[in-house]
Amino acid sequence: MIELSREPEDVRRALTDLAEQVANDPDLDDTDRMLIHDAAVAQVQAIQVNKAWAELAHVHDVAHKSVITKAAAFEGQPRADWPEDVNADALICHDCRRDLVADSTFQRVLVCPTLHGRRPPGMAPTNPDGAVECGHAA
């Protein structure tokens, strides 16, 4: 059985040991090793992508509340078809202009959809109606 190390100073050595164990494990065939390799590469790439998004993401700590209008009558129709007095701009990412969504955490946080599930953990608005926005221009 392979042991997991959570001590930072042991992680590099543990990764090297793990690679050697996987390469030499007689119970694993080449297909198994390919699956392990592909999963490891995918995880590294996901970490790199998340770090790149985190560099530009920022908290927009002002209220992102929907404007109460007669929009319910037009629900399901594209915004372009709504009457002029309907203003839903408050619920968009002010960077890329996409509609905000609730983050995939137990805490209520509005985020740009590009950050859904990858919001940096410490990045949350203090205003409950604030949002974490992507930093990428439309």
- Answer yes or no: do 42 and 4 share one domain: yes
Residues 6+ apart with CB under 8 A from 123: 54, 57, 58, 59, 132
Indicate the pTM of the whole model: 0.59
Residue 109 in contact with residue 60, Cβ under 8 Å? no
- Answer yes or no: do 13 and 69 share one domain: no
Question: pLDDT truncated to tens, each residue of the chain (138 aa)?
Answer: 666 667 777 788 888 888 999 999 999 999 999 999 999 999 999 889 888 888 899 998 887 766 555 555 566 666 666 555 555 567 888 889 898 888 877 777 889 998 888 888 788 898 888 899 999 887
- Answer yes or no: do 30 and 85 share one domain: no
Q: Which domain holds residue 32?
A: 1-56
Token digits of residue 98:
């996409």
Query: How many structural domains are present in the chain?
Result: 2
33: nearest Cα among 47, 11, 43, 18: 18
Helices (H), the chain: 8-24, 30-56
